[in-house]
Amino acid sequence: MNEWLFYGLLIPTGFAVGAINTIAGGGSSILYPLLIFMGFSPHQAVGTSRLAFLTQGISGILGFRSKGFYLFPLNLYSGLIAASGAFIGAGIGLAIDGTIYKKIIALIIALTTVAGFWHAGGNKIEKKSNADSKNRRTLTYILFFFLGIYSGFIQTGLGFLILTVLHSVEKMNLNQANSIKAMVIFLSGIPSLLMFSSFGQVRWSEAVLLAAGTATGSWLTSRWSVKIKENKLKRIIALLVLLLAIKLWLY
């Protein structure tokens, strides 16, 4: 691929991923296969994408905080616990052979896409006793440690998993859960980026362009009115991801 064309595609690719993540989620499931098809190794695709996810996490934290959703210290503790697990997950990912890692990526993006259809968030908040809240909080922190391992390993579908935990265990509404999700994605992304970078699996010039495109797409999409219905968009994205997963498995 021509070098100018290659670099020229990175910003709009990042923009599309940021927009998709903002509207319906699932952008990383599209980004990994696209980067691999553009010539990145599976480890480079995962590692180079990390900076874009960090910028999205920062944008999410600032956005939800400006709207009054900032559940401190739960967001900080959850993020730090997930970050400790991310070191382990990144190490596991880096130790796996590239061919096997590629097939794992293809399988996971397909499974998380299918699982997304069964996810149902809610805005109802249930009343909890103090003892019940303490037990729930302990379980939440344990689950976030394992989510951190998953984050370091691949990350795709992480937002869906975080929302599932917070809605099911903590009984949070969508805005509360999303505010914590942004902090967890940001903090767990730092050790993941450092680990992949230390093993030479982050292509920094491409990472910066992707991050710029992702941040722009996320920021603009959150302010524009989107005429397409969310459910319809999710179906289109799911079909695209499944096709990419099949092609990636066979690639």
CA-to-CA distance for 155 and 223, rounded, in angstroms?
26
Q: What is the mean pLDDT of residues 217-232?
A: 58
- Where do we find the tokens 């093993």? 199
Residue 198 falls inside a structural domain: yes
Question: Would you state the structure tokens that stand for residue 2, as one six-digit string?
Answer: 């021509």
Write out pLDDT tens, residues 184-205: 888 988 999 999 999 999 999 8
Triad 216, 219, 223: Cα angle to 5°? 135
Say if 164 falls within a structural domain.
Answer: yes
Within a domain: 211: yes
Q: Kindly state whether residue 5 falls inside one of the protein's structural domains.
A: no
Question: Cα-flanking dihedrals φ and ψ of residue 157, to 5°?
Answer: 80, 5
- Which structural domain range is residue 44 located in? 10-123+130-250
Helix axes 42-66, 27-37, angle to 10 degrees: 150
Q: What does the pLDDT read at residue 43?
A: 94
pLDDT at 220 over 80: no
In a domain, 3, yes or no: no
* Residue 61, domain member (yes or no): yes
* 111 vs 152, residue with greater confidence: 152
Q: Is 240 exposed, middle or buried (0-12, 13-18, 19+ CB in 10 A)?
A: middle
Residue 165 has which token pair? 């935990």
Kindly provide the residue ranges of all beta strands, DSSP E only, lying in the chain, ordered along the sequence. Answer: none
Q: What is the pLDDT of residue 123?
A: 44
Q: How many domains does the chain have?
A: 1
Q: Look at residue 35 and tell me if it is in a domain.
A: yes
At 124, is the pLDDT very low, low, confident or very high (cuts 50, 70, 90)? very low
Entry pTM: 0.78
Q: What is the pLDDT of residues 47-96, one digit of tens each?
A: 998 998 888 777 767 766 666 666 778 788 988 999 999 999 999 999 99
